[in-house]
Chain A
Amino acid sequence: MMNTDVANVTRMTNARGAAIALIAGVVFAAGLALGGMMDPRKVQGFLNVGGITTGQWDPSLAFVMGGALLVSFITFALVKTKDVSWLGGALTLPNRNDIDVRLIAGSVLFGIGWGLSGFCPGPAIASLVHGGASVLMFVGAMLVGMLIAKKTLG
Chain B
Amino acid sequence: MHPYLQSFVGGLLVGTAVWILLKGIGRVAGISGIAAEAISSPRTSLWRFAFLLGLIIGGAFFVKFFSIPTANVASGGALIAAGLLVGFGTVVAGGCTSGHGVCGLGRRSMRSLVATASFMGAGMVTVAILNALKAGA
A interface residues, Cβ below 8 angstroms from B: 14, 17-41, 44, 47-50, 59-61, 63-73, 75-76, 79, 84-87, 89-94, 96-99, 102-132, 134-135, 137-150, 153
Contact = CB atoms under 8 A, between A and B. Distances in A.
Interface in B33-82: 35-36, 39-40, 46-66, 68-75, 78-82
Interface in B94-117: 94, 96-98, 100-111, 114-116
Residue from B52, B84, B114 whose CB has the most chain A CB atoms within 10 Å = B84
Contact of A28 (B17, B65, B71): B17
B118 A28 contact: no
Contacts of B71: 39-41
Contact of A27 (B16, B27, B64, B96): B16
Interface string B2-33: 01111111111111111111111111110110
A63 B59 contact: no
5 contacts: A17-B50, A35-B11, A114-B119, A121-B90, A149-B92
Interface of B: 3-29, 31-32, 35-36, 39-40, 46-66, 68-75, 78-94, 96-98, 100-111, 114-116, 118-128, 130-131
Majority SS of interface residues in chain B?
Answer: helix
A75 B121 CA distance: 27
Nearest to A98: B111
Given A41-B71, A91-B26, A117-B83, A75 B106 contact: yes
Contacts of B70: 38-40, 127, 130-131
A117 to B, nearest CB: 4
Given A28-B13, A97-B111, A75 B19 contact: yes
Contacts of A34: 6-7, 9-10, 13, 62, 66, 68
